[in-house]
Amino acid sequence: MTAEEYLKQYAVMRAEVEQKERLIRTMGREIFGGPSDRITSVMAGSLGRSSQGNYWDPKSLKKFKTELDKQEDRVRDMRNFMMRIINQIDGLDEGKDRALLNGYYVQGMTWGELARQMNYADVYVRGYLKAAALNHFDKKYHEFLVTYQHVTK
């Protein structure tokens, strides 16, 4: 896996975390407020019953709570992955590399925004500085990148 492929996973992970956190909030409300058609209609097949009615039978509640716990565990794993990327970027020696990789891959800035912020020409940032920063990241974490498996697949 290249350094760029690895770092691009951050944005996908951030989007997935936001979506899962919204799902978790909705599921949490349903545990305390009873089932509704928003979430439980999707899960009705796995719960083995209709989602009609505002009650939980103990077996369905346990399955629903287990699913909620799995979603929370997945979010925790994704946040740990995101923190690893931030820490790896912070571990680079060059300030330019850290600013560039953090700005683009973690904060979601454009290359143009980074060029203006760093007071460089766009073409220089998109070309040479980007290539140099990714090369430095790859050199420092090469063994990790070679053995790393895609999280987002």
* 25-29: long-range contacts, CB 8 A cutoff, minimum separation 24: 27/64, 27/67, 27/68, 27/71, 28/68
Phi-psi region of 121 (alpha: psi -120 to 50; beta: other; left: phi over 0): beta
Instruction: Specify the pTM.
Output: 0.75
DSSP 74: H
Q: What is the DSSP string of 3-44?
A: HHHHHHHHHHHHHHHHHHHHHHHHHHHHHHH---TTTHHHHH
Contact 138, 2 (CB under 8 A): yes
Dist CA 36 CA 70 (whole Å): 20
Q: pLDDT value at position 151?
A: 53
Per residue in 103-134, pLDDT (tens digit) is 999 999 999 999 999 999 999 999 999 999 99
Q: For residue 34, name the pLDDT band (cuts at 50, 70, 90).
A: low
